[in-house]
Chains A and B, each alone.
Chain A
Amino acid sequence: MSDFRLILAGLGRKPLRTSLLIFAVFIAFLIYGVLAAFQSSLENAAGPSSSNRLVVANRINFTQPLPFAYVSRIQNVEGVTDVSYSNWFGGYYQEPRNFLLTFAIDPESYTRIYSEYVMPDDQRQAFIANRDSIMVGRSVAEQYGWQVGQQIPLSSNVWRRRDGTSVWPVVIRAIYDGKDANTSTGSVFVHYEYLDEGRAFGNDTVGIIQIVTADAAQNDAVAARVDTQFANSRAETETLSEQAFNAAFIDQQGNIGLIILGVTGAAFVTILLIVGNAMAGAIRERTGEIAVMKTLGFTSGRIARIVVGETLLLSLFGGLLGLVLANLLTNTLSGIPALNQFFGAMRITPQIALSAVGFMAALGFITGAVPAFNAMRVNVITAFRRI
């Protein structure tokens, strides 16, 4: 504890320099926090993922349809314990700019498989029982002020009805929440049957088929069996784990991960050089003081610990400030309904915070290493000759 005061005294030597260094670290972790929260929200926007779920899509491209008959054939594949399917609906409310992330699904199996969407059981039953039902996520419902029982016109920019219109009257029968804060509640679900019976074209096809396997260890074998079964057929399939499918989905939106890595990487290297260089300079200026401390009986090891303590404190202090502001910022951003719909709950997750603290510690140790080494090497006798 007494060393803590010496650490503070070291940092307090040049308050302006210390403030600037803290500010630099602060900016780096602000950028990191916001970008990491953004990335994790994108992953959520692509849909939830579970380790024993697979996604079957058309081999050509996941926007190409699969024959509906595949659903029952996949049901019989060895290792498959549950199956559901969905179709892109392309929905909007009143005007095309009120875009809704809408999927046509088999209500019973879909809500069974996606247990991360939680809602009262009577709402779920009502949604399953009525063909004109929709189930909407909490953030969408809040954005438009929708209530359960309300009838709304759901339009599609993809599917025309047999009568030539594109408006599908539906009734909101369920509003779901996420099982945890990471689950996006930005989607709308309609009945697949309602779509398929009403649409003017594309009948008896589905977009993608979801598979549940007995356990994740069987994923590869099951995926191989499915893809082999449909090899050389009219529509060949590609079966991926849900994570891989979601990752591919995100890749379509530009490689956010790489951008984040690039930006934060550049920020970190810059900060590393700035802080490391400034601290090396600070220790050089303090050669005389370090020599005095050694004369008084402070060991080289203890002095090195104090120096590393300074860089650690600096980077933890600046880093935590940056993380706190990033948290405030992301909370504000995800509170805006229009953003939440796409980015889910954009927030600093415990994992992001933990890895950030890890980076702060690493930054502290790395920037402290060279100055600490130099401090250890200060030779009392030659130092006093220079004073």
Chain B
Amino acid sequence: MSDSDLIVLRNVAKAYRRGEETISIFADLNLTIPSGDFVAMMGPSGSGKTTLLNLLGGLDRPTSGTILFDGAPIEKLSENKLSAWRAANIGFIFQFYNLMPTMSAARNVELPLLLTPLSTADRKRRVKTALEIVGLENRAGHKPKELSGGQQQRVAIARAIVSDPKLILADEPTGDLDRTTAVEILEMLQLLNRELGKTIVMVTHDPAAAKYARRELHLDKGTFEERHT
């Protein structure tokens, strides 16, 4: 393991218990994602892509094995420590945007900053910058339902980057968008990766979308198969 490795999975297993039987999603997963990488995660439905993303984001814990983030294992952190760790290190982007319907775009973007000790003025400044990066500075006061799907996803991206996390996890971020809008979003992710150095793990079903990443990982039957783009 080198210093530049952001994420290292060692012998990670994940199983769900459903009644009497235990369903193993993967039994021995090993993976290294260096800092600054942009990974497209592909694979058939039910192969465990979302499950893996949840593990990387500290939303779920592995059944066994360890997940190192910046060299430190995260699976043993307490619930509250994990929350603080997520707030500091991870930006999430969802397929259905998941914005707060009653809040304006700016308030939505500000949400993760409420977990930091930043002053109101600092928060305002950061929100403005994040909205500028996604090109929505003139929509700051709009509520989600007053925005198109693509715009909503851009607000979600602004929310994911506003606290300057190292890792961005995106689960089918273009799954609900048309081709042109999807391209906009993918180009934006590419920009975040190339210009701002964000490490990105993106789950997608779309081979065309995967081309925007630096590499593709195929998850199937509990193992990875790697393809470079």
Contact = CB atoms under 8 A, between A and B. Distances in A.
Interface of A: 2-3, 5-6, 9-10, 12-13, 288-289, 292-301, 380-381, 384, 387
Interface of A: prevailing SS: helix
B101 interface: yes
A9 B80 CA distance: 24
B101 A13 contact: yes
Given A298-B83, A381-B59, A387 B98 contact: yes
Interface residues of B, number: 27
Nearest to B97: A292
Nearest to A291: B98
A295 B57 contact: yes
Contacts of B85: 297
Contact of A295 (B79, B86, B101, B107): B86
A296 B102 contact: no
A156 to B, nearest CB: 70
Contacts of A292: 94, 98, 100
Given A12-B102, A13-B101, A289-B100, A6 B114 contact: yes
Nearest to B57: A295
B125 to A, nearest CB: 16
B110 to A, nearest CB: 9
Interface of B: prevailing SS: helix
Nearest to A3: B114
Nearest to B114: A2
A295 B159 CA distance: 12
A13 B102 contact: yes
Nearest to A300: B79
A384 to B, nearest CB: 7
Contacts of B79: 299-300
Contacts of A380: 54, 59
B112 to A, nearest CB: 5
Interface in B26-56: 50, 54
Nearest to A380: B59
A296 B111 contact: yes
Given A299-B79, A387-B98, 15 more contacts: A5-B107, A6-B114, A9-B102, A288-B98, A295-B86, A296-B86, A296-B92, A296-B111, A297-B84, A297-B88, A299-B84, A381-B54, A381-B59, A384-B50, A387-B96
Interface string B53-84: 01001011000000000000000000110011
A10 B111 CA distance: 13
A203 to B, nearest CB: 80
Contact of B60 (A2, A289, A293, A381): A381
A153 to B, nearest CB: 71
A13 to B, nearest CB: 5
Interface string B91-122: 01010101011110001000110110000000
Contacts of B54: 380-381
A299 B83 CA distance: 6
Contacts of A5: 107
Contacts of A288: 98
A297 B100 contact: no
Contacts of B84: 297, 299
Contacts of A2: 114
B86 A297 contact: yes
Contacts of B94: 292, 384
Contacts of A298: 83, 87, 115
Contacts of A381: 54, 59-60
Contact of A297 (B50, B60, B83, B98): B83
20 contacts: A3-B114, A9-B100, A9-B103, A9-B107, A13-B101, A289-B98, A289-B100, A292-B98, A293-B111, A295-B92, A296-B86, A296-B87, A296-B92, A297-B83, A297-B88, A299-B83, A299-B84, A381-B54, A387-B96, A387-B98
